[in-house]
Amino acid sequence: MKSSLFRSAEAALRRASSPSAASSHRFRRSYSVESKPDRKVAVLGAAGGIGQPLSLLMKLNPLVSSLSLYDIAGTPGVAADVSHINTRSQVAGYVGEDQLGEALEGADLVIIPAGVPRKPGMTRDDLFNINAGIVKSLCAAISKYCPNALVNMISNPVNSTVPIAAEVFKKAGTYDEKKLFGVTTLDVVRAKTFYAGKANVPVDEVNVPVVGGHAGITILPLFSQATPKSNNLSDEIIVALTKRTQDGGTEVVEAKAGKGSATLSMAKYAGAVFADACLKGLNGVSDVVECSFVQSTVVPDLPFFASKVKLGKNGVEEVLGLGPLSDYEKQGLENLKSELKASIEKGIKFAAQS
């Protein structure tokens, strides 16, 4: 019999990725024993604050047959711990650069939460010099050992680390823009939660697209497109909801008094739900749509942009447009352009350095 934790995790994944009864049926069907191909998932940074709960949640995902956990230290213990859970996937832990290749070999999906977390007073740009180097070296290994894998980038600043990854893959001759994703799902989760509270609607029925990037004003929730519709939200409330969504990470960092960042909500939704969506797309499940920071032509002069993306067997099947925007959202889009462009260019410049 499944534990209550396992049942709860599955139920949460169903709600997060399947807002309708029909899609819920597709979710259950995709999880049937007969329809599950073997899928290897590698988590790079598996011993960290995001990596550990994310590793647990990927162990609970029945679409995963092989779970490879890598970090510079501590992974054998994490692997031993989650390996005792009676679910489908076989778990292996790898530690240190010498074992990175073995951790990656044959992976269908690589999730990268590696790096240092945010601390009080620290902006995402403050993280850059440390995390950029980590991402660059990990992506060089991905290009060598699993060049066809989907890559889910969680390491911040995502607005820069995704362009870094793209440039590393280009240099190695392995770049496929359909297979590189910046994970911005946490912005969507926050927007849904905050909107539901103000609109007084069930949170598991809410959908709010979030576009742009994954830092500060580059995060643009499109509350005008939120469903279910609410006509009782004033312009002031929309502005406040937007600001809170943009500052969600800072809110958590300050609440934890410098002793952590948004590790749990990040792992639970941004990591696990988006990874689950990618696996379902790889397995041929139809109509899988999530917001993600990808190579894009949606906004001129911004080569990477977060918007709705349809996922399929090769990764990105289609990058969807913005749809109709309110005047407030149009202004927000204009306001984010320069900052997002600078972050993208900063990542490209870093990757070009030897």
Known catalytic residues? 214
Distance between CA atoms of residues 346 and 341, nearest Å: 9
Distance between CA atoms of residues 312 and 36, nearest Å: 15
DSSP string, 110-142: EEE--SPPP-TT--TTTTHHHHHHHHHHHHHHH
What residues are paired with 66 via a beta bridge? 40, 90
75 within 8 A of 48, measured Cβ to Cβ: no
Distance between CA atoms of residues 207 and 270, nearest Å: 15
Please give the single-letter amino acid code of residue 162. Answer: V
Distance between CA atoms of residues 194 and 183, nearest Å: 19
**Measured between alpha carbons, how far is residue 295 from residues 67, 163, 353 in Å?**
27, 9, 21
Distance between CA atoms of residues 305 and 302, nearest Å: 7
**Measured between alpha carbons, how far is residue 91 from residues 23, 55, 142, 209 in Å?**
30, 10, 19, 34
Q: Which residues contact 81 (CB under 8 A, 6 or more apart)?
A: none
Q: Which residues contact 22 (CB under 8 A, 6 or more apart)?
A: none
Specify the 3-state DSSP secondary structure of 50: coil
Question: Residue 208: how many CA atoms within 13 Å on its side-chain side?
Answer: 31
